[in-house]
């Protein structure tokens, strides 16, 4: 994914609590960064995540995650987390995510998250809300 191709990005600053003994962002924090950017993207799309859950018992669950690390991020650096929808199926979305440094556009990591949309009670797939259906490529 090129940054020019991305539909949305969220900027955050690396906090001291997110670095490890090597003085770089601990690897597991990138999934939190992905989740934070995706939550902001839901706000951007005006999707009422909490309302859908409370009203209909429908929610997204992560079924797959992948991170490919390219370069380290360090304390106090600003990062842009780019989000773009990839493959869209009737009950799931593949998110393509890229993290880059604000200072020089260095690629920190690429990632993918697959979200399945389902009824939490039955654990059965549910059709994606309309707002997601035209975001990416379809199968």
CATH number of the domain that residue 87 is part of: 3.10.129.10
Q: Which residue range forms the structural domain that includes residue 18?
A: 9-132
pLDDT > 70 in the chain, percent: 94
pLDDT digits (tens, 9 = 90+) for 43-97: 999 999 899 899 999 999 999 999 999 999 999 999 999 999 999 999 999 999 9
The total of structural domains in the chain comes to: 1
Residue 91 lies in a domain: yes
Residue 2 lies in a domain: no
Q: Which residues have CB under 8 Å from 76's CB, separation 6+?
A: 13, 14
Residue 3 lies in a domain: no
Residue 139 lies in a domain: no
Residue 64 lies in a domain: yes
Q: Which of 105, 93, 94 is nearest to 11 (CA)?
A: 105
């Amino acid at each position: 994914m090129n940054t020019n191709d991305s539909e949305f990005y969220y900027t955050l600053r690396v906090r001291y609590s997110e670095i490890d003994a090597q003085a770089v962002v601990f690897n597991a924090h990138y999934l939190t960064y992905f989740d934070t950017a995706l939550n902001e993207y839901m706000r951007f799309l005006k999707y009422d995540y909490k309302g859908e859950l409370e009203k209909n018992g429908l929610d997204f669950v992560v079924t797959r995650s992948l991170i490919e690390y390219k370069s380290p991020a360090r304390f106090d650096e600003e990062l842009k987390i780019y989000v773009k929808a990839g493959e869209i199926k009737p009950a799931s979305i593949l998110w393509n995510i890229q993290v880059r440094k604000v200072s020089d556009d260095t690629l920190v990591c690429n990632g993918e998250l697959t979200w399945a949309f389902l009824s939490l009670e039955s654990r059965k797939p549910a059709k994606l809300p309309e707002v997601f259906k035209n975001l990416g490529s379809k199968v």
